[in-house]
């Protein structure tokens, strides 16, 4: 019996999703994508889960799409775009999920592996991590969101360099862009990711979920439309969430805030 392609662990309100195809450097195939999709659905429905961490077993975070799987799909269907449509849809689900998602990156995050990390909200990386697009090295184009998300996360110049060369660069080179939150020794990666997830847990609630949703909307809007969307989201949130109760609770322990 084959081991599961995805392992799950619960640490308090933080659920870890571990890609578990170490012999293939956690390359993405149909089974792994389906298991990730089911795991996301399960986590979103669980009141005892507030934050997700995505990590990889073995020597790498994720080496991208399983090229053997792409070839097998192409032999059967003529084009693997249907599979890649599922990959892209899953990564968009991760980006738009009401749960904050942290990526804990080590080893290699290449092509689809980088695209998975790009869909997460926050990224921490081991100091041995190498990250890049890599598609052009195999005469492929991105299909998991890199052409959209990579320029947004790291800036147009670095995105073009990565996508047009296929080169991999050390994780530390992304710190200046803000996309990667921190780079730490490999031995501290999981503890750092758990600590960051617990920081997110302290702010869990309807406001955090709506902020994440708002960011996914405004990132693709012109500034004026984004500002309108922000006001609309504020109004909807005020009308449907216990905002007044939260403010009263805050002021009850900080009365000096209201003093003139």
In this structure, the answer to whether residues 143 and 251 fall within a common structural domain is no
Same domain, 12 and 27: yes
> Is 1 within the bounds of a domain?
no
- The domain total for the chain is 2
- Which CATH number covers residue 64? 3.90.226.10
168 and 232 part of one domain: no
Same domain, 29 and 140: yes
Taking the model in full, what pTM does it have?
0.94
* pLDDT tens column, 163-172: 999 999 999 9
230 and 157 part of one domain: no
Chosen domain end from 176, 201, 226 = 201
- The tens digit of pLDDT for each residue in 107-128 reads 999 999 999 999 999 999 999 9
Q: What is the pLDDT along the chain (260 residues), one digit of tens a residue?
A: 788 999 999 999 999 999 999 999 999 999 999 999 999 999 999 999 999 999 999 999 999 998 999 999 889 888 999 999 999 999 999 999 999 999 999 999 999 999 999 999 999 999 999 999 999 999 999 999 999 999 999 999 999 999 999 999 999 999 999 999 999 999 999 999 999 999 999 999 999 999 999 998 998 899 999 999 999 999 999 999 889 888 998 998 866 655 54
Residue with tokens 């991590």: 129
pLDDT score recorded for residue 257:
59
Assess whether 196 and 223 both reside in one domain.
no
Q: Do 174 and 116 sit in the same domain of this protein? A: yes
Supply the pLDDT for residue 260: 42
Question: Which residue segment(s) compose the domain that 173 sits in?
Answer: 6-201
Domain boundary among 178, 201, 224: 201
Which pLDDT score is estimated for 169? 97
């Amino acid at each position: 019996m084959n081991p599961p392609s995805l392992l799950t662990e619960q640490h308090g309100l933080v659920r870890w999703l571990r890609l578990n195809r170490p012999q293939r450097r956690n390359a993405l195939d149909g089974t792994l994508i389906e298991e990730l999709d089911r795991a996301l659905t399960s986590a979103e429905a669980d009141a005892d889960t507030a934050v997700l961490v995505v990590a990889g077993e073995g020597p790498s975070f994720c080496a991208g799409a399983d090229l053997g799987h792409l070839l097998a799909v192409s032999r059967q269907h003529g084009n693997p775009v249907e599979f890649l449509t599922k990959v892209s849809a899953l990564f968009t689900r991760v980006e738009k999920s009401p749960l904050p998602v942290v990526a804990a990156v080590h080893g290699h995050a290449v092509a689809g592996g980088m695209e998975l990390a790009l869909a997460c909200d926050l990224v921490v990386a081991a100091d041995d991590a190498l990250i890049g697009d890599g598609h052009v090295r195999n005469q492929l184009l991105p299909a998991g969101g890199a052409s959209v998300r990579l320029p947004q996360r790291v800036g147009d110049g670095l995105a073009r360099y990565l996508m047009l060369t296929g080169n991999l660069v050390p994780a530390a080179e992304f710190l200046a862009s803000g996309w990667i939150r921190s780079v730490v020794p490999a031995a501290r990666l999981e503890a750092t990711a758990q600590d960051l997830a617990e920081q997110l847990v302290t702010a869990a609630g309807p406001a955090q979920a709506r902020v994440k949703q708002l960011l996914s909307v405004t990132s693709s809007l012109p500034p004026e439309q984004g500002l309108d969307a922000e006001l609309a989201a504020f109004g909807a949130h005020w009308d449907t969430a216990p905002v007044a109760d939260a403010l009263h609770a805050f002021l009850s322990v900080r009365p000096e805030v209201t003093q003139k």
